[in-house]
Amino acid sequence: MNPVKITADTAQEALEKVQAEVGSDAVILNVRKLPADGVKRLWAQPQVEVLAAPPGSTKSQKEALKLLADKVQQLESELQERDAQVRDDLPPNIQEMIREVRKGEEGELLLPAVKILQDIGLLPQHVHWLSSQMRHHLGSTRPRNLVEEMELLREVLVDQWGRFARKAEKPGTPIRVLVGPPGTGKTTALCKWVTQETFLRQRPSRVWRLDGSHSNTAEFLSLHGELMQVPVERVWVETTQPPEDTLRFVDLPGVSASAEAVEGLAVQIKSLGDAELHLVLNGSYELNLLLQQVKVFEDLALSGIMITHTDESEDWAKVWNIALSAELPVTFLSGGQDIPGEFQEVIPEQLFDDWVSSAMRTGGKII
Ligand SMILES: Nc1nc2c(ncn2[C@@H]2O[C@H](COP(=O)(O)OP(=O)(O)OP(=O)(O)O)[C@@H](O)[C@H]2O)c(=O)[nH]1
Ligand SMILES: [Mg+2]
């Protein structure tokens, strides 16, 4: 039954009429004073108008409200779609401005732990990637505190590191070749590596000190080989290869970080057969320069990156930024000229802990 409008001279009379017409459990929807119209206004009292409905009809009102809410929602989403469409039609520079503003909004939504990594040197492009990874990992559950958030962040970064390592892994025992720009410490790192394999792991090794676009003058490598009783050859002969269990290392002179030089190097490396390539970078250089070098050398299908000169610069944010930008694991950190000296295999969990704790010690930015 639809609501009924009842008019009476007094409120009491109106209520009696409502009870008579709609029933004793009628629901009063509205009451208002109704002024008399025309000349009647001069003598007549204002009347009372009551809008009443039977109890069941309030349900249909609720339903109507729900329908209305649904309709509003539908209109809102239609408007949003139209908004996106309009944005797509905007000139590219305006679209870019909108994206910039949105980027700022995202920045404000960074999880506190991600914000900390940003403050201690993680590059913006990795901050954005990490934020979306964290959101994906978290779903609707949020860590209860900063420590839990940090633990999750560590897990996400370590997982990613593992993915890089698996992707770059070569089956069997490929030849280990150290490449990179001139003077970054390739031969020194190779000496340290061979020393560890020979003395710590007791594995037989053989080294090739080969010439490249210019001659390999690292006489100290041959001397070091003699000391360790590891053969160091000057010429690569495919037919006289050592037994399967022997580790094979190749030392090449540095090449400049240009596409042409790297192409020449690629041809030489191809002639060696199955090789695992490690790019050796001087960690005391500026991050931007190192990332440029990575860009040029990554055409070689690298397996990992070694960072030297950690005795001069201990910057763990730089190591993470290089690994995440190159999408490769940093395999070893080498510090100092002495052999065996400092030469450590990188464990990403440890690298994360060192990064955070060294930043806490220095109390701020470390880049
Ligand atoms: N302080 C410091 N010096 C290093 C380190 N690694 C190498 N060096 C020094 O840097 C110089 C060049 O080292 P090499 O190992 O010959 O460098 P390389 O990359 O083989 O050089 P090329 O073969 O000529 O491209 C030498 O004087 C080394 O003693 C390091 O980690 N720290
Ligand atoms: Mg060398």
The whole-angstrom separation of Cα 113 and Cα 111 is 5
- CB count within 10 Å of CB 245 equals 8
Alpha helices (runs of H) in the chain, residue ranges in sequence order = 11-21, 57-88, 92-108, 112-119, 124-138, 146-168, 186-195, 219-228, 259-270, 287-297, 316-326, 348-362
Rounded Cα distance, 19 and 366, in Å: 81
Is the CB of 253 inside a 6 Å radius of any atom of ligand 1?
A: yes
Distance 217 CA to ligand 1 centre (A): 12
- Residue 250 Cα to ligand 2 midpoint, Å, equals 10
Domains of the chain, start order = 4-55 (no CATH), 90-165 (no CATH), 170-362 (3.40.50.300)
In the beta sheet, which residues pair with residue 6?
Answer: 50
Q: Is the beta carbon of 205 within 6 A of some atom in ligand 1? A: no
Stretches where the chain sits below pLDDT 50 are: 39-40, 42-43, 58, 61, 65, 68, 72, 105-107, 365-367
Which tokens is 230 given? 């590891």
Distance 336 CA to ligand 1 centre (A): 9
What are 247-269's pLDDT values in tens digits? Answer: 999 999 999 999 999 999 999 99
Tokens of 252: 């090449």
End-to-end CA distance of the chain: 76
pLDDT of the residue at 85 = 66
- Distances 252 to 77, 138, 147, 177, 266 between C-alpha atoms, Å: 62, 46, 46, 8, 12
The 10s digit of each residue's pLDDT in 298-343 is 999 999 999 999 999 889 999 999 999 999 999 999 999 999 899 9
pLDDT at 39: 46
- Do 303 and 170 contact (CB within 8 A), yes or no? yes
* The ligand 1 atom nearest the CA atom of 184: 19
Q: Using CA positions, which residue lies closest to atom 6 of ligand 1? A: 185
* Per-residue pLDDT, 359: 82
Q: Whose CA is nearest to atom 27 of ligand 1?
A: 337
Q: Exposed (0-12), middle (13-18) or buried (19+): which is 92, by Cβ within 10 Å?
A: exposed
- The amino acid that residue 265 corresponds to is L
**Which ligand neighbours the alpha carbon of 213 most closely?**
1
Within 10 angstroms of residue 193's Cβ, the number of other Cβ atoms is 25
Q: Report the Cα 241 to chain-centroid distance in Å.
A: 43
Q: Is the peptide bond before 340 cis (omega within 30 degrees of 0)?
A: yes
